[in-house]
Amino acid sequence: MSKPEHALTLALAQAATLGEGLQWHPGSGRWWWTDIEGASLHAWTPGDSATLTVRLPERVGCFVHARSGRLLLAMAKRLAWLTLPDLRATGVVQAEPETIVALEPGLTTRSNDGRCDRSGALVFGTLHEADPQRPVGGFYQYSLARGLRRLPLDGVAIANSICFSPDGRRMYYCDTPTRRILVCDYDSASARVSEPRVFVKKDATHGFPDGSVVDAQGHLWNAEWGAGTVARYAPDGRLLGRWTAAVPHTTCPALGGPAGDQLLVTSARAGLSSAALMAQPLSGSLFGMPVEPGLYAAEALFNDA
């Protein structure tokens, strides 16, 4: 899969302050993502010029689609349900999600990265919003059957890279400032994990690990904040390739598309000076490239049956 440098090309021009949470949703035939600092969700059908923007009263760190057609949102300080009348709509709409449970009340934290495990439970982490950032946040699992449970993992300053092996038995995650992606054995029913071990340690030239996704072959794709790249790793942690976008802050990769042969990645404008934004005006856009057929594995829908 050797690719030339700058292989990630513009897929959709956007100006997200902090694009994250990208995912392909087969049911609507659309890419979905959140602009965390923009307090909004976005959806786009490939080939269309118009997008859907859902304005929300609070930032959304991550979200998942549910089997019922609803969306489950990990908002800054709460989990909430969002029901949209038409998942294929375009334009701008306002929405008020329905609160399920509060998140880390009393802490200066907000929700951040997350996705469903292979059994359909939401697993997500939080981010410390104070300066300096300290590892006071946590990792959580939410299911209808068992509610909200904290995973027995160390505290975290910026939870990221949450994803699962194809069989669901391994969980990947990171605390972004450490530059390490960790892996542990994971059991969804009990919300138990094994002692974490280092999967990948990045050097300073490759930025900080942000969002990740696992393909059908068990390889992990990771967006590298500050480097403008997406790296692909084998299940044993070997680097298989690295692809570059024309922006410094790539944030979250996803596999999908109508034929299941695309990789897209979100990006961000956050943290860039006016001069940097003038030099990299596409920051906040979606970038992508074709991948070999068969790599896409559909994300599990949240089990609200």
Domains of the chain are 9-34+106-290 (2.120.10.30)
Using only C-alpha atoms, the chain has a radius of gyration, in whole angstroms, of: 18
At residue 265, what are phi and psi to the nearest 5 degrees?
Answer: -140, 140
Cα dihedral 294→174→126→221 (10° resolution): -20
* pLDDT at residue number 305: 87
* pLDDT at residue number 1: 41
Buried b (16+ CB within 10 A) or exposed e, 184-197: bebebeebebeebe
| Cβ contact 78:101 at 8 Å | yes
H or E element, residue 179: none
* pLDDT at residue number 6: 59
d(CA 158, CA 112): 7
Tell me the two tokens of residue 46: 């490939």
> What's the predicted TM-score (pTM) here?
0.96
Per-residue pLDDT of the chain (305 residues; tens, 9 = 90+): 444 455 899 999 999 999 999 999 999 999 999 999 999 999 999 999 999 999 999 999 999 999 999 999 999 999 999 999 999 999 999 999 999 999 999 999 999 999 999 999 999 999 999 999 999 999 999 999 999 999 999 999 999 999 999 999 999 999 999 999 999 999 999 999 999 999 999 999 999 999 999 999 999 999 999 999 999 999 999 999 999 999 999 999 999 999 999 999 999 999 999 999 999 999 999 999 999 999 999 999 999 98
Closest to 37 (Cα-Cα) out of 159, 129, 116, 102: 129
d(CA 62, CA 12): 20
Number of residues that make up the chain: 305
d(CA 54, CA 40): 5
* pLDDT at residue number 161: 98
| Cβ contact 78:56 at 8 Å | no
Tell me the two tokens of residue 243: 């692809």
| Cβ contact 222:183 at 8 Å | no
d(CA 134, CA 126): 11
